[in-house]
Structure formats: structure tokens, C-alpha cells
Structure 1
């Protein structure tokens, strides 16, 4: 087709693509990302390791930041081949080298990683604060429930039934027939992965939904039931139902944390508090439910107890308009935020209150949803009377709108201690910070379905310093799920037919695939 359309055109060959075009695209996108990172206020990193089909180990480092338009941005920084064992010192050195090469070593304060011990050492070497992945934390707590013996016996029976239907074509056809007869959804049974607790939850949930069809298929004389499959008692079925009922909140929390476009670090403490309340003992709980709640609740109670991590999460929740009014936010986080604001350089001309920015309408006059018109200029009396000349108009136009207030020697000396609000009143940075925090606290909280980034974009004019501070907190995510999702991309790139790609080419292709905007 190309030859018919333009015989003179020579498409690039494999060598030109590999040695010229792809490296050029990589360098171009890398330069764009470097400029983007230099203009952002704060950056948060996540990292994870993976192994290619050729048994080569790679370390992928990703970053999150909030741009000037209040959009959550996700970028790949590098995918480098990792030599040797994954010790904390070696991983920390790679992180520090990456931050230095991108010029963000002073913009990274917190990193979200899994709860492995080597990552604690790695972040100490890199000079960043560690935030444990909440999804990994929930997975570890849920695995405590899987260790309950009565649940293990039930899971073994469910797995044997699911495996039988996956391996037998006749049993699968019979299951579809029974589903149609019983008017059940024609869904396949789900087999679980022992490293992901939510897959076990989904396996049991699907089994309970399809249990009538499963029993009817197993009792049909046209199939030969395996001797390893045994029936389930009413008590075992009740255990499955109790497990699904109690653990549903854990699955919901896990799904909430997989969001990439909205900040999630402010949700950690409210979610943790809700989960701890959910796993408290209640009257009427069965023995199995009590054992389940005790196993999961005790594990969750030991999480995020580090003082520095706790303070960061409290401040992040306070800056999230969805969670600022939650009971987990006490007085101390607000005091710390006031202290941080008082140390920032205030520009009083950019500070507006809601009363200043919005027109005040009398109560007895119905409010009309129109944008307020700009205020008319004050007209001098001699101009308003009509007795004016062109010279008078020229004089009025030449006058400045506002007279500059000359700074005195005392103001020059104490300028760092006092902020000029009007020509007659002085206010300290601490008092200005307190007023902004109090105004923000009194503002109506955002709904849980609202995007906090959009909220701050609309309200930045009222809380300018809190908005600046929010950017540094919102770039931190509760989970490094973005890094793990890169694995699917790398699986497509380093496929079975391309397993011999060089590490340099893997880095370029992954970087270009995930960062380039088409």
C-alpha cells in the first residue's frame, strides 16, 4: 500500500528504529519530563522490582506530583537492570542516584513502598521518609484471617471444587446448563492466588453465588465426580457467608486505594479508624466471627504507629477537604499546620477571604446566580458635575490607582516579623496563618465523591498557603500500585519473542510507552 501511494518513500528498517528513532524519542521525552519536574513543587517516589522472562532483575522507579493545574501526574523515571541481591543499601543507592540525576533530591520527602525490611534501610540511605503501602498492610492483616484452622479447611474444599470444574470440560458444560435452568448468571468459578487475599474473597463470594448450580452439576449422573471432592456441611457454608460479610469492608478499602488520579494519603487514617471500629467485638457475633475479628483487628492496630508517619498522615488528612472533619483529626495537626504556614513567605495581596471575593446580598433580596460585576470606579465630584475639561480628565487618568506606602527603617528591620495588611494595621505571620487555618476549618467539607484536587483548584484563592502546602502532601499516594501496574507493560515489551532486549532498550521502551502522550 505504501509503495502504491508513494513509491519513493522508504520506511525505516529495524536497525534505524532501534539505533536512531527510539533513542531520539526517549531523549526528547526525557528532556520534557526533566523540565516538568523542575517546575513542580514536590515529588513522591514509588519503586518495585520485577524479573524478566530472561531471569534478569529490574528496578522500576516511578514518581507522582501535582502540576500547576491541580492534576495528579504519574511518570516513569527509570527501569534499570539491578545487579546482585536486593539489599537495603543497594536499593537506597539506586534511589539516591535516580533523584540526583533528575534534580529532585530536595523535592522528595516521602516515598510509598511495601513493608519489606530492606525498604526501611533503603529509604534511610536515600534520605526520605517511608510510608508503608496500605494495600500491602491490608493484605498482611487479611492473611492472618486465612490462618484460622476452620477457615483453612473450608478453603481447601472450595479450592478442590473450583479446580475440578476448571479441569473438566464436561463439568463446565453441566455447570452452564444448571446456571441457565436456575436463572443464575453464567459466570465461571474463580480460583484464588494465595499471595492476594482479595482473590480468595472473590473465590468464596462467587462460589456462594453459584452454589445451587454447583450442587446440581455435581449430583448429575452424567459426570463422574472426583473422589477428592467432598460435600460441605451447613456449618462450613455459614463460615463462608460470615467470612464474606465481615471481610467485605477490607475489599472495598483495597479498591479505593487503587485510584491514581486522586490523592489517597489523606484517606489512610480515616480508613484505618473505620476498619478498627468494624473489627471490634459486637453482641451476637459467632465464635468464628470473633476469632476472625480478633486476628485481623490486632494486626491492624500495630500499623502506622511511628510518630513521624502518624504526624504526616494526620496533616495529610487535615488538608484533604473530604476528611478534614473526621474524628481522627484532633487539635495537634492544625497547630502544626499553623506553625508551617507561619514560616512561609506571605504575600498579603494574594490572600483573599470568601467575604472579599463574593458579593454580599441582603437576605430579603433573592440571590441570582450570576457572576458579580466589577465595581465601578469612584468619579470625582468636579467630573461628575459635568464641569470638566480634557486637562482634568488627563490628570485623573495619570493618577495611580493606589499610592505606594513607603517602607520605614523600622519596617525594613522588622519586615520578617510583621506583615503589612493595611496602611494602619499590622499582623504577625502566625496570626495570619491562624486565620487562614480557621477559615479553612470552618469551610464546608467536600463530599467523599468529590475530587480534592478539583476542590483546591477552585478554593486556592481563599487559602493560598494551605493550597501550596497541600501540593506537597497530595503527591504522596497510599499505595505503590502505579509501579506494580508497570509490570503488565513490561510483560508486553519483554515478551517471549523479545526476551533478548538489552537493558538499555528496555528502559527506553518502558519510559517511552508510559510517559509519551499521544
Structure 2
């Protein structure tokens, strides 16, 4: 604030007028608003009317100016910034040495970019990428693509694999694996995968990719068995810690498990695929509906004009502008999604047909049939999502099968037109999963899952499973089942339930979740005798009410391992096994991006290393940033 205000004050009547404190004269501050006000007239009034006060004003102004200058000098650096010399400019323009820390760091990040983002090695020769790097750091010299593929890639692979070796050397109770064979569409390449998972000492599920190696020649059981042996040797995996290996239903894979003396598990998702195809999709009326659906979807997929017309009708109805789903014969749920997308656009299709032609159309009966098919398959779609989740385990198999079989045994108003298919589907599920509820691995895992315990077994199977668990606890090591290959099976035998037809017009409300509730209400823990400390642990654990299905079973064991120490360690082994080979399939989804049209000549060795780094490196990058 100016020192002149020591001698003036703003008028109370008008803000643009100032009043002299010495003679009460009113003076204009100039301007029409606060932004344009000035003190020139006030200073002139002091100088002409009150010279002694003007001298005081000048003194105050000089003191304020000196104080501001002193403060500015105090804030300024002690010495002026030196002017850069020519040598300094030349040094900044000098390129980094190839072995300098800065150059190595940039090269490492570019290699990470290539591996993590599925970039071809040729990206380092692209003009746009080189211009970007040159703009960010002009002193960096870009190495050749061969340097990245032949030097940087092996170096990074070795670093990441060292981390994996260290991880596998930790306290692991048991390792479970998934495996699959994949063939590329763009090159004559086949790869065999191996992913591992286990439960660590903190009861957290750990997953890691070990192999996606080239698999040449015929895919015989012997070749697969030998490949497994090499992969286990490469990672120095103790065979005694191999709990189970999940694979598809191919005979060569099943025979390889048996020849390798490994406990094999058939992928539940693949088995459901076979059961649905066999029991439902093979029905003539349903197959006809699916064939018509494929023709309709194919018409819009291959005709931009037809799709544009469809979009216009969707806009008129105010419905979301979505494309129809195309199904894949090897994925039953893709057929479900195709029919679902068609049924959701039923009105839109009806309007389209009124003005335009389609290669095929649904009649009124077929639209009702589609609705009932969707109702019948909805629980299977729910199961497929559950077992394909990252935390699903073999403990889910028996309860899920018990629930779906019970649901298929119930009559519903949506059975019209699909009653025969429903019965065939039940028979297919029962046949495909005929051994699960008697297989020790499934039974023990189910009981050790605090969400299920023994509530999904009959009295005889409860007692037999209890004896198996008790025997393993007493021996302190897993019991061998003497069988190389494990088959998925159904839950308990279907009990004869009374069936009644619904008389209401309300839609069916019975769901898969309802079946879980029914089973839990019907089963009570049988009487148990306490004979030893481990038996007391088992009795105490089984006598408690199961936790909700939405809860994490591993969190239960982490919290309660002090109460049930022996059972907790046993749970680390049995709950480590997944019920599907989804991890390997997801791995090969990533592989299809690594080996694509831009990299169809990439060698399998380099493709494996790129895929390995892509899947593993983020795990360690997260740790480094903590």
C-alpha cells in the first residue's frame, strides 16, 4: 500500500473520493473503477497544501523502497549464474557412450516397451519412433534391431528367469500347473505351455508362467511327457511338490500325465463344453435355431449396408447400437452370447425384416425356443464364469456340479420345447463328470474349503473323505491315489425329488444360488468322535457353519491357521489346484499377439522369451515400485 494513505482516507460516501486527514478536503482518485484509481492527485495535494507532510511521505516512500530492495537481494543467489562456455555446449551435444549408465537405461526401457506392448523389433527402425526418442534425448544413439533381439532380449530374459528361480525356491507346500498346446494361424508354429500356481505362507495365491516353448513334431503322449520332464528340470522343480496338472480332455494329454506319473485333472470348462454340445446343441430343433442365428449374424457381419440399416432402426427404438455376437464352435458360451444378442434385438430384427431381406429368419415358435434355451444355459454360463476366475479351485467342482444337477432335475415353465434337451443335458453332465465325487483330490479339496466343507456329500462320502484327511494328517504327507489321470465327475447321485408343475404365470425364479442354499440346509454335520489333536482340529473345523460363498477361503485359513494349524497346511496343498486350464489358454491369447502378421517370422525361442517377459516382468515391476 502506498505511503500516501497515511495522510488520506477513502470517503464513506463515495469510494472514488479520498478525504485529506489534515484539512478534510475531498479529492477525486481518478478513473471510473477500482482498477483505474490512482494517487497522483493526492500526492499533488500534499505537496501544494501540506509541504511538511509531503516531506514525511517522501521519507516513508524511500524507506519502503530500500526495504523491498534489501529483501530482493537477500532472496537472490549469492553469486551470479555463470555463463555456459563453448565446451559446456559441446559436452551437452556429445552422444552418450554405448556403455554409459544413461544409454543402458534407455535401451533397457525400449526393450521393456517391445516385450510388454507386443511391439516388433523393427519398431526401433520406424521413423516416428526414432524421432520421438531423438526429441526426448538427442544424445542417445539407437542400437540396431538385431542388438535388441540378440543381446537385449536374452539379457532381460535371464534377469527375469533369475527372479522366478528365486521365487520358486521359497517355502512352497505344493505346486499346481496348467498346460495346453497351441498352434499359430500365421506361422507353422506350435507351443506347449506350463503355468504354475501355489499358496504362499501368507495364504495368498501366487501364479507364474514358466514355459511356452516350441513343440515340434507329432503331439504324442511320449513327446509331451518328455517335454514335461525337461521343463521341470529347467526350473529345478521337485516332483514331490507337484500336486496336480490341469489340461484339456485330449487323449494324448491324458496319456502323457499317466506316463509322467503326474496327477492329472481334466479341465472343467472343456468338459462342460463337451457336455453341452452332446446334451443340448446336438438336438435337432436347437441346432436348426443356431444355424439360422449364424446366417443372420453372418449377413450383418459381411454387409456394411445391412448393418447401417440396422443401426438406423436401433436409433429409432432407442436401443444400444450393438453388433450381433458371432459364435465359435469350440466355445459353447459363444453360442449362448450369439442367441442372447439376437434375442435382445428381437423387435429391431422384426422391423428390419419388414423392409429388407435376410437369408433366414426365426418363426414365433423358434423365438420362444431361443428364450427357453437361454434360460436353460444361463446357469452353465454362470458356472463357466466362476470356474474361469483367477481364484477358482478344484474345491468348486463338487458343489457346482451338485447345484447344477439339482437345478436340471427341477421342473420349470421354461421347459417348453427344451424338456428333452434338458434331460439329455443332465445325462451328459452326469456321464462326463461321473467320478468327481469319489476322487480323493476333489473330495479333500472340497472339505478343506470353508465355504463348502462336507455339506455337498452323502454320509458315506463324508466319512470316507474324513478318513482320507485324517490319514494324510497322521502321515504328514499327501496320499497317493495310484491313478495318473483324474476324471471330472458329478456330485452326489441325484436323489428322487418330487416334481410338480407350476401353475403361475410368473417367470422362473429358481437359480443356481438357490441350489447351494438348499443343499446347505439339508446337510448337517454327522456326529464325530475326538481321538487325537488332528482329529479334534478336523472335528472343530467341520462343526462350524460354512462361511458365505462370496468370502475368500484363503483369507479364512490365514486368519484361522492358529486354530487349525495342520489343516491349514493341508489346505495350502489342495486349494492350490485350479479346476480349469484357463491360465494356459489366456497365455496363448497373449501368444497370438506376439506371433502375428508383423512378426510371423519370429523364431519360437525369441517368441517364448518375449511372452515370458510380457507375463512375468509386470509382477516384479510392481514390487520395485513399492
Same fold (TM over 0.5): yes
Q: Partner of 1:154 in structure 2?
A: 289
SS of 2:343 mapped into structure 1: helix
- Please tell me whether the aligned partners of residues 66 and 72 of structure 1 are also in contact (alpha carbons under 8 angstroms): yes
Q: Quick check: 1:143 aligned with 2:272? A: no
**Partner residue of 1:83?**
216
Q: What corresponds to 1:468 in structure 2?
A: 569
Where do 1:32-51 residues align within 5 Å? 32-39=163-170, 40-51=172-183
Match 1:433 to one of 534, 555, 568: 534
- How many angstroms apart in 2 are the aligned matches of 1:120 and 1:430? 40
1:501 aligns with 2:609: no
Q: 1:197 to 1:507 in 2, by over 3 A?
A: same
TM superposition shift of 1:273: 1.0
Unaligned runs of 5+ in 1: 346-428
TM-score, length-scaled by structure 1: 0.78
1:278 is aligned to 2:407: yes
Report the structure number with the largest CA radius of gyration.
Answer: 2
Tell me whether 1:61 sits opposite 2:194 in the alignment: yes
The 1:169/1:328 distance shift into structure 2, 3 A limit, reads same
**Cα distance 1:440–1:503, how it changes in 2: closer, same or farther (>3 A)?**
same
Q: Deviations over 1:142-191 (max 9, x none)?
A: 11211111111222222222222222223222222222222322222112
Aligned counterpart, 2:332: 197
- CA shift for structure 1 position 480: 0.5
Q: Could you give the per-residue CA deviations for residues 64-110 of structure 1, whole angstroms, max 9, x where no partner exists? A: 11122222222111122112111111111111221122222221131
Q: Does structure 1 retain, via aligned residues, the 8 Å contact 2:398–2:456?
A: no
User: Equivalent residues in 2 for 1:190-229 (5 A)?
Assistant: 190-220=325-355, 223=356, 225-226=357-358, 228-229=359-360
2:371 counterpart of 1:237 = no
Gaps spanning 5+ residues in structure 2: where?
1-131, 478-529, 622-626
SS for the counterpart of 1:279 is: helix
Q: CA separation in 1, counterparts of 2:142 and 2:468?
A: 61
Q: Is the 8 A contact 2:372 2:416 kept in 1?
A: no
Contact 1:281/1:290 (<8 A) preserved: no
Which of 530, 543, 554 pairs up with 1:442?
543
Residue 374 of structure 2 aligns to a residue whose secondary structure is: helix
| Residue pairs, 1:117-128, within 5 angstroms | 117-128=251-262
Structure 1 distance, partners of 2:433, 2:286, is 28
Quote the Cα distance in structure 2 between the aligned partners of 1:200 and 1:6: 52
- 1:45 aligned counterpart, secondary structure: strand
Q: Give the RMSD, CA atoms, in angstroms.
A: 2.2
Mean Cα deviation higher: 269-278 or 231-240: 231-240
Cα contact 2:247–2:581 (8 A) shared by 1: yes
Report whether the alignment pairs 1:99 with 2:229.
no
User: Which of residues 376, 380, 384 is equivalent to 1:246?
Assistant: 376
What aligned pairs does 1:251-262 form with structure 2 within 5 A after superposition? 251-260=381-390, 262=391
Distance 2:134 2:271 in 1: 58
Instruction: Calculate the TM-score normalised by the size of structure 2.
Output: 0.65
SS in structure 2 of the partner of residue 69 of structure 1 = coil
- CA apart distance, 1:442: 2.4
Q: 1:110-121, aligned counterparts within 5 Å?
A: 110-121=244-255
Q: 1:189 to 1:9 in 2, by over 3 A?
A: closer
C-alpha separation between the residues in 2 aligned to 1:169 and 1:59? Answer: 39
**Given the superposition, is the C-alpha separation of residues 309 and 7 from structure 1 closer, same or farther in structure 2, using an over 3 Å criterion?**
farther
- Aligned to 1:332, which of 442, 447, 464? 464
**Secondary structure at 1:259's aligned position in 2?**
coil
Cα pair distance change 1:7/1:151, threshold 3 Å: closer
Q: 1:507 to 1:237 in 2, by over 3 A?
A: same
Length, aligned pairs only: 429
1:5 Cα deviation (Å)?
A: 6.2
> CA offset at residue 323 of structure 1?
1.2
Q: Please list, as runs of the form range in 1=range in 2, the aligned pairs for 1:388-403 lying within 5 A after superposition.
A: none
Q: Give the whole-Å Cα distance in 2 for the aligned partners of 1:344 and 1:235.
A: 61
CA contact (8 A) 2:398 2:437 kept: no
Distance change >3 Å, CA 64–CA 283, structure 1 → 2: closer
Q: Deviations over 1:342-365 (max 9, x none)?
A: 2229xxxxxxxxxxxxxxxxxxxx
Give 1:463 shift.
1.2
Q: Do structure 1's residue 300 and structure 2's residue 429 form an aligned pair? A: yes
Question: What whole-Å deviation, never above 9, does each CA across 1:220-240 have from its counterpart, x for those lacking one?
Answer: 2xx4x14x32x4222211111
1:255: how far off?
Answer: 0.6
Q: Conserved in 2, the CA contact under 8 Å of 1:263 and 1:452?
A: no
Q: Which residue of 1 aligns with 2:557?
A: 456
Q: Which residue of 1 aligns with 2:149?
A: 18
Mapped partners of 2:436, 2:593: distance in 1: 42
1:284 offset after TM fit, Å?
5.9
Q: For 1:2 and 1:115, locate their aligned partners in 2 and report how far apart those are by CA, in whole Å.
A: 49
Alpha-carbon shift at residue 279 of structure 1 (Å): 1.7
Q: Distance in 2 between matches of 1:317 and 1:96?
A: 30
Secondary structure in 1 aligned to 2:169? helix
Deviation at 1:488, TM superposition (A): 2.1
SS of 2:311's partner is helix
Are residues 1:129 and 2:294 paired? no
